[in-house]
Structure 1
Amino acid sequence: WACRVRAGLASVSHRVFTCGFRHKSSQGWDFTRRITRRKLILLEPRTGALRMATAQANEPPMSRPSTGRSSTMQAWETGLENPNVLDTEPIAVRGQSAGGHRQLDADGKDGDGDGKSGCGCLKSCKHGLQSIWRTRDTQDTKEDRELYIKTTLRELIIYCIFIIVLMIITFGMTSSTMYYYTKVLSDLFLDTKIENTTNNYRSVGNMGDWWSFVNGPLMNGLYWDTWYNSANFSDPREKNFIYYENKLLGVPRLRQLRVSNQSCNIASYFQGKISTCYAKYSYGVTDKSSFGLGNSTAWQYRSEEQLDGRSHNAEISSYDGGGFAVELSRDKATTQAILKELYSKLWVNRGTRAVFIDFTLYNANINLFCVIRLVTEFMATGGCLPTWDLRTVKLLRYVEPMDYFILACECVFMLFILYYIVEEALEIKKHKWRYFRCFWNCLDILVIVISTVCAAFNVYRTVAVGQKLTTLLQDENNFPDFDFLSYWQQQFNHGIAITVFFAWVKIFKYISFNKTMTQLSSTLGACAKDLMGFAIMFFIVFFAFAQLGYLIFGTQVKDFREFQQSVFTLFRIILGDFDFNSLQTANRVLGPIFFILYVFFVFFVLINMFLAIINDTYSQVKSDLSMQQNEFEMTDYFKQRASRMLSKLNLRRDKIVDIQKAIQSADLNNDKQLDFEEWRAELKQRGYADGEIEALFAKFDLDGDRVLNEEEQRQMHLELEGQRENLDQMINSKQAANEELEPDDEDEMEADGDALPAAATAASTRTSGGGGRGRGGGRKLVSPAEFQVLVKRVDRVEMSIGDIVQKIDSVLLKLELMERAKLRRREAMTRVLDALSGMEGAGSDEAERSRRAEELMRAELERWDVDTATAAASSGLGRGADSARGSRELRSASSTSRK
């Protein structure tokens, strides 16, 4: 069957697809086929009757394009091998179009009527919206391999775009500049030496050291009143720029928390000797009463709400956001006077448990804030422990052009989040509670929730920073508390980082069609129960060692000072990071014993058992996966797509060649003039539609005289030749690309030494209709992995068949031995009976006959025993058992004969 499109009929509606079929045979059949949604309309030119048939719902798609076809429609070949599908009942034609036919819609009605076009548009819109959220979980892709591949690739491409947008947002808001900014400020405030000492803030150990730090490195670091050459600033606004670049926002704040006297119980033995007792800090023993001068905020307690503060977790304890606070000045001399008064009046004394130094810097060059908090904890043991927190954050997000580009990406990111919210809602609607049984679905929900929370905070942060800066600019002598915003900005960064992590892990969901990519998840899933069971035993032993280390070394070794620190230290020992000298110094006997026992039982035994479980499961999973086939091979899919594209290019090239031949043969009168009728008649014979013929002729008929002269024919030939050369180049490039993909597979198959079976080759070869160079996209073989799987399956089948054949042979041999035994028994019995009958005929007495019978029986038994031994040696126990049974039967016959 050849296939072409017949134009010239009535205008085709959006629901009708018209194809023409022409069969060149002696019968001269010529069909025009209209494919509506579910019906076929066929025309028989000889009778002029139209026939309608309902198309089967599961009619397979037509496989290949033909050589002759319309440029506006693509006709596909079809079998039409089953004429019984068509209903031969004629239908009435209510009108005719320009081509002599009336267009019918899907219900057999006149296509010119409105019908239910509005409903069709709604259905089309609904179908279009549903196709946007089409996934493997919302579509039935189990039976349709092509739909599964397309849906998987579509999901993967969309998700890759989502990942790219997320990466732009994440890495656009952080950079290495943040690290260097933090490093510069930490060197200034933490590592600057105190005057006349070798100490810095990191090594502050008592109240005197703390005051020396405040009056020295802190004051010099906060107030930059002159240039490096001691010259004054020409503009007063240039003051208070640390390192001449970082502006001090507002004023710094000092805040302390205290505990009251008699907050702890003194042992009865010392109550007469010790009159004061200050406990370690807790909220219940906080001293809120005024002390010292009591005439300013430095000596009066203010609550967390009054200070707009927030609790803080330090090294020793967690501290409330209230306290005794004093705001310093933007002028260095004024600040020194405030500090001098606090120092002289013992603002820091035995009741002090923590002192906070808070200030905020902003660098306009890099648009970054640095919120600094220096915390000094005064322990109940005496002395102090300094800690610090420097948060470099970008609170003003949209300043430079790149920032606005990131803003656009954030908007796109929110559209993606809305898209995935709808997608997950549709999947939940379809699968109900079964949706949450899948790990990847739970991961989707987690990513959506974290992203939504981060987006909400992004909006809140933008508004809050604007309000705080507006208030600060109105009065620069206030303390700007950016601690809350900087803290939640850090949590925002952490949330985005977690989202990025889970987003990258989620890629495994879309590449799980490849068995290699599922090895990790399959291994962990297969050994999960074994790992959980063994983990219980492991952590029992591990926490036993952690408690032992904490109780033995907790008072002397820093790494074991707390139970959680002891746990972390033991994990570090597993990784090879340990300090054996500290254990040995703490206890020369128990230290080495503890270390050796822990390393032996936990590291050499338990950890290696973990690895053995995983390794054994991995080997099993890898063996199972080697026997499985990938859900689809990506390279094979793209090869098929390339082959289809190559086939289409070949069809276009063949059409151009066909038109070139038509130009040469259409001039019947050889007048070198090609009129329209000659052109139309020639192309009609080649199966082209009137619309194509008219359009192509009019393109080169420049003077409009309906005749193509030599120049116009030459122009047509040159343009067609140029198009053909371009197509040849495209075909060659496509073929070269296919050859780059296919030789590796073929070489691997040849290296195995086995040729692919002819049936498999035929099944995996794609062909297209028509001839011509490169038609059908070439031969396509199975992949090496598929071939190896087939070889292994054939080997297993052959082994199974071999076992079956061997068992059948054994059964047949036993049957043969049984038959031989029966024959021997029959012959033996016949000889014995003949001998007995002969003795009776000879008139022998009873004693003689009995003696002769005994001798015959004994001779037969001896011969039977010899045969039995020979059979047992040659044929095994089966035949020997039959012989033994025969011997017993002969003995039974002998006794019967004797009787």
Structure 2
Amino acid sequence: MPARYTKKPSYQILSERIIQNIITEFFILLILLVCTQIITENVVHKYSYYSYKQAKRAFVQESNYREPHRYIGPAFANVQKIWDIWDFASFNFLNIIHHEQNFTGEKKDQFPFVFNMGLMIGVPRLRQIRVKESRCPQKISFIDIHAKKCYPNYLPKSEFKGTFQQIDYVADAKSLKPTYVTYTGGGFSINLQHDYTDNRKILRNLIKARWIDSATRLLVIEFSIYFQDINMFQVLKLMFEIMPTGLVMPSAFIQGIQLTSFLTLTPVTISAGAIFSIIVIYYTYVEIREIKWVGPSAYKNNFYNYVDVLFLIAAYCVLFYNVWHIVTIKEIEKVYAKNHKRYINMDKLSTGWNVYLHMLGIMNALVWLKPIRFVSFHRSIQQVLAAMRVSIKSILGLCFFCLISIYAFAQLGCIAFSQSNEEYTTEFSSIVAQIRFLMSDISYTSLEDAHRVLAPFFFVVLAVISYAIILNLFKAIYLSADSDVKKQLIINDMVIARMLQAGFKRYLCFWRKRKTAQINLTPRLRPTEKSPGISAEDQAKPTSNSNQQMKIVTELRDLIAVQSENCARIEHMMEVFFDIMENIEKLHNINKISTERKNN
């Protein structure tokens, strides 16, 4: 089967009908860009960041509920020991959610509203994750050490999933990664109440029962708030990661979730969503038609096809989520109406919203990459692509050397600086630190504080390898390929621009008959043959007269371009020659004048 040209917007072969199709596709893309922008602007509320910032200040960074002559416990960020957790939960946390309820005309002991504005969805709950008791690995013979039980680091296989203090293990939450370890979505849970006195009593009983002990590896205080004025949920998880040393690492998860989707917001967003759905279906048809037309093997060799397929995947994920979001919100409303004095789990909605934002961001980025196809005929883009094709093997070899160097220094940094520098605590963070070094983002002072002897050597050698070798080699490889391509590449961008300009003027005259004659304008390297015509192998092939004529015309055009450049070079050489002759004549005249003066 002979190779077929793509049916998508392309400048390899042009005719009046193809130009009309390109302009139509461009207008469809403009509509898609407008609809995508409307959808994106309405998904992220302008108060989302400020709501996150203020919630973090209220629950995490500081305590604004200090009363004279009354102990309220440490702030969340200052929790260091297990007893600090109980102080924070018993005093600071309860004061935040029960503070000044009398402004709403309700009893002080009730807290259906947080900050008098946000409705508490259900009640908060405490959830802990425990590990099984293990054999003590120590080899030092101390009586006091042998009398103590040992509990390992957290691993999924070492997690305790039985019954603890008459509470059964329940896996009804999403996995969490507070600092370094990822914890599964389960644990032993206790719900708080709407009454302040009852909550104090619950916490006192937990303290007496030693509900948190050496086997606890994670404690989570989780709850959800709904702000009616801006139609937004806020899911909060205050996490305390208890290390085997007994110290506590606090961290917080705060996420805002819109109540409505773009399918249920305003007539403008609903219309944009409907048009967006139609365009996505149309692009699906275009991709299926393209695969059938050019074949799977030729389809996968085009880079732009990968952009289109990824866009369709992200777009269908966005559309599916908006339908799923409406159904999930209805389920949460039913659960709340049935019993609002229990913990209402919104982890599923939170996970879905997180994936939705990622897919929406990917889709938006891919939509803005689509216009590149319509300006791909320009000389600069063609030169960049041709230079990359010529130098791809050298660049891949340089990338392999770069990856080895980055990983080697990442291992060195992880071993040498991990105990006192947060950027080198894990292998992945250490690799990221080396990549940031390439972008000139590095703190030498922190390295020197971690190791005064090794830090200068590490910094200097990494700087030499990064800047003096890797970046300069990449520039040299690309610039060499680019200079070679500029001499050989023939690009008809001005011809294409004039044809597009003429085609756009006739675009609205859709009743006119389109010309079917096609012109091959594919960018290529200059031919090495000195004379025009067709080679013997091409003449032996059975081709039609029109194809032969088109090929002869194309080769003649290429030859004319080569000869034009040769003429320009000859003209430049002649100008240089004339300049030299003029300079020689001037020198001759100067010598003649000087000789006459001497004789006189």
* TM-score normalised to structure 1 length: 0.53
Amino acid at match of 1:512: S
Question: 2:224 touches 2:234 (CA, 8 Å); kept in 1?
Answer: yes
Alignment correspondent of 1:769: none
1:200 aligns with 2:99: no
CA deviation string 1:659-691 (max 9, x = no partner): xxxxxxxxxxxxxxxxxxxxxxxxxxxxxxxxx
Q: Tell me, in whole angstroms, the C-alpha distance in 1 between the residues paired with 2:117 and 2:499.
A: 60
* Aligned residue runs from structure 1 range 423-822, under 5 A: 423-433=286-296, 434-622=298-486, 627-630=490-493, 632-634=495-497, 637-638=500-501, 793-797=563-567
Alignment correspondent of 1:338: 202
Call closer, same or farther: CA 1:175–1:589 in 2, change over 3 Å. Answer: same
Q: Tell me, in whole angstroms, the C-alpha distance in 1 between the residues paired with 2:479 and 2:178.
A: 43
SS of 1:527's equivalent in the other structure is: helix
Alignment correspondent of 2:545: none
Q: Tell me, in whole angstroms, the C-alpha distance in 1 between the residues paired with 2:162 and 2:13.
A: 78
Amino acid at match of 1:796: N
CA deviation string 1:270-305 (max 9, x = no partner): 5774232111111222234444xx3xxxx523221x
Question: 2:129 touches 2:187 (CA, 8 Å); kept in 1?
Answer: yes
Q: Tell me, in whole angstroms, the C-alpha distance in 1 between the residues paired with 2:503 and 2:158.
A: 78
Q: Tell me, in whole angstroms, the C-alpha distance in 1 between the residues paired with 2:435 and 2:270.
A: 42
Alignment correspondent of 1:314: 178
Call closer, same or farther: CA 1:557–1:144 in 2, change over 3 Å. Answer: closer
Call closer, same or farther: CA 1:799–1:385 in 2, change over 3 Å. Answer: closer
Amino acid at match of 2:323: V
1:222 aligns with 2:97: yes
Alignment correspondent of 1:722: none
Alignment correspondent of 2:548: none
Q: Tell me, in whole angstroms, the C-alpha distance in 2 between the residues paired with 1:570 and 1:141.
A: 42
2:26 is matched with which residue: 151, 156, 164?
A: 156
Q: Tell me, in whole angstroms, the C-alpha distance in 1 between the residues paired with 2:429 and 2:508.
A: 65
Call closer, same or farther: CA 1:247–1:520 in 2, change over 3 Å. Answer: farther
Amino acid at match of 2:284: I
Question: 1:395 touches 1:465 (CA, 8 Å); kept in 2?
Answer: yes
Q: Tell me, in whole angstroms, the C-alpha distance in 1 between the residues paired with 2:339 and 2:220.
A: 23
- CA deviation after TM superposition for structure 1 residue 644, in Å: 11
Q: Tell me, in whole angstroms, the C-alpha distance in 1 between the residues paired with 2:351 and 2:177.
A: 12
- CA deviation after TM superposition for structure 1 residue 429, in Å: 0.8
- CA deviation after TM superposition for structure 1 residue 619, in Å: 4.1
Q: Tell me, in whole angstroms, the C-alpha distance in 1 between the residues paired with 2:263 and 2:154.
A: 44
Alignment correspondent of 1:266: 138
- CA deviation after TM superposition for structure 1 residue 259, in Å: 1.7
1:302 aligns with 2:169: yes
Q: Tell me, in whole angstroms, the C-alpha distance in 1 between the residues paired with 2:506 and 2:123.
A: 73
SS of 2:238's equivalent in the other structure is: strand
Alignment correspondent of 2:61: 191
Q: Tell me, in whole angstroms, the C-alpha distance in 1 between the residues paired with 2:569 and 2:87.
A: 89
Call closer, same or farther: CA 1:798–1:393 in 2, change over 3 Å. Answer: closer
SS of 1:266's equivalent in the other structure is: coil
* Aligned residue runs from structure 1 range 834-873, under 5 A: none
- CA deviation after TM superposition for structure 1 residue 628, in Å: 2.3
SS of 1:326's equivalent in the other structure is: strand
| Structure having greater relative contact order (Cα 8 Å, sep ≥ 6) | 2
- CA deviation after TM superposition for structure 1 residue 190, in Å: 0.8
- CA deviation after TM superposition for structure 1 residue 264, in Å: 4.5
Q: Which runs of 4+ in 1 moved over 3 A?
A: 138-144, 193-199, 234-239, 268-273, 288-291, 516-526, 615-625, 631-646, 789-793, 797-803
Amino acid at match of 1:601: I
Call closer, same or farther: CA 1:485–1:197 in 2, change over 3 Å. Answer: closer
- CA deviation after TM superposition for structure 1 residue 481, in Å: 0.7
Call closer, same or farther: CA 1:430–1:378 in 2, change over 3 Å. Answer: same
- CA deviation after TM superposition for structure 1 residue 523, in Å: 3.8
Alignment correspondent of 1:287: 160
SS of 1:506's equivalent in the other structure is: helix
1:174 aligns with 2:44: yes
Q: Tell me, in whole angstroms, the C-alpha distance in 2 between the residues paired with 1:198 and 1:578.
A: 38
- CA deviation after TM superposition for structure 1 residue 239, in Å: 4.6
Amino acid at match of 2:129: L
- CA deviation after TM superposition for structure 1 residue 219, in Å: 1.1
Question: 1:261 touches 1:277 (CA, 8 Å); kept in 2?
Answer: yes
Q: Tell me, in whole angstroms, the C-alpha distance in 2 between the residues paired with 1:636 and 1:142.
A: 13
For the pair shown, which has the larger CA radius of gyration, 1 or 2?
1
Amino acid at match of 1:609: L
- CA deviation after TM superposition for structure 1 residue 167, in Å: 1.5
Q: Tell me, in whole angstroms, the C-alpha distance in 2 between the residues paired with 1:641 and 1:303.
A: 65
- CA deviation after TM superposition for structure 1 residue 611, in Å: 2.6
Q: Tell me, in whole angstroms, the C-alpha distance in 2 between the residues paired with 1:269 and 1:344.
A: 32
SS of 2:190's equivalent in the other structure is: strand
- CA deviation after TM superposition for structure 1 residue 639, in Å: 5.4
Call closer, same or farther: CA 1:142–1:622 in 2, change over 3 Å. Answer: closer
* TM-score normalised to structure 2 length: 0.78
1:278 aligns with 2:151: yes
Identity of aligned residues (%): 23
- CA deviation after TM superposition for structure 1 residue 251, in Å: 0.3
Question: 1:398 touches 1:404 (CA, 8 Å); kept in 2?
Answer: no
Amino acid at match of 2:168: Y
1:165 is matched with which residue: 28, 35, 52?
A: 35
Amino acid at match of 2:347: D
Alignment correspondent of 2:533: none
SS of 1:497's equivalent in the other structure is: helix
Alignment correspondent of 2:543: none
SS of 1:147's equivalent in the other structure is: helix
Deviating more after overlay: 578-587 vs 445-454: 578-587
1:420 aligns with 2:287: no
Call closer, same or farther: CA 1:520–1:334 in 2, change over 3 Å. Answer: farther
Q: Tell me, in whole angstroms, the C-alpha distance in 2 between the residues paired with 1:426 and 1:645.
A: 26
- CA deviation after TM superposition for structure 1 residue 468, in Å: 1.7
Q: Tell me, in whole angstroms, the C-alpha distance in 2 between the residues paired with 1:471 and 1:145.
A: 62
Amino acid at match of 1:508: I
Q: Give RMSD over aligned pairs.
A: 3.3
- CA deviation after TM superposition for structure 1 residue 529, in Å: 1.9
Call closer, same or farther: CA 1:636–1:443 in 2, change over 3 Å. Answer: closer
Question: 2:79 touches 2:248 (CA, 8 Å); kept in 1?
Answer: yes
Question: 2:118 touches 2:227 (CA, 8 Å); kept in 1?
Answer: yes
Q: Tell me, in whole angstroms, the C-alpha distance in 1 between the residues paired with 2:196 and 2:507.
A: 80
Alignment correspondent of 1:240: 112
- CA deviation after TM superposition for structure 1 residue 561, in Å: 1.6
Q: Tell me, in whole angstroms, the C-alpha distance in 2 between the residues paired with 1:460 and 1:225.
A: 38
Deviating more after overlay: 492-501 vs 596-605: 596-605
- CA deviation after TM superposition for structure 1 residue 792, in Å: 7.8
Q: Tell me, in whole angstroms, the C-alpha distance in 2 between the residues paired with 1:450 and 1:348.
A: 43
Question: 2:237 touches 2:252 (CA, 8 Å); kept in 1?
Answer: yes
Call closer, same or farther: CA 1:224–1:449 in 2, change over 3 Å. Answer: same
CA deviation string 1:480-538 (max 9, x = no partner): 11111111111111101101111111211122122234444444333322211111111
- CA deviation after TM superposition for structure 1 residue 176, in Å: 2.2
Alignment correspondent of 1:257: 129
- CA deviation after TM superposition for structure 1 residue 624, in Å: 5.0
Q: Give 5+ residue unaligned stretches, structure 1.
A: 1-134, 647-788, 804-899
Q: For this pair of structures, how many residues does the alignment match? A: 514
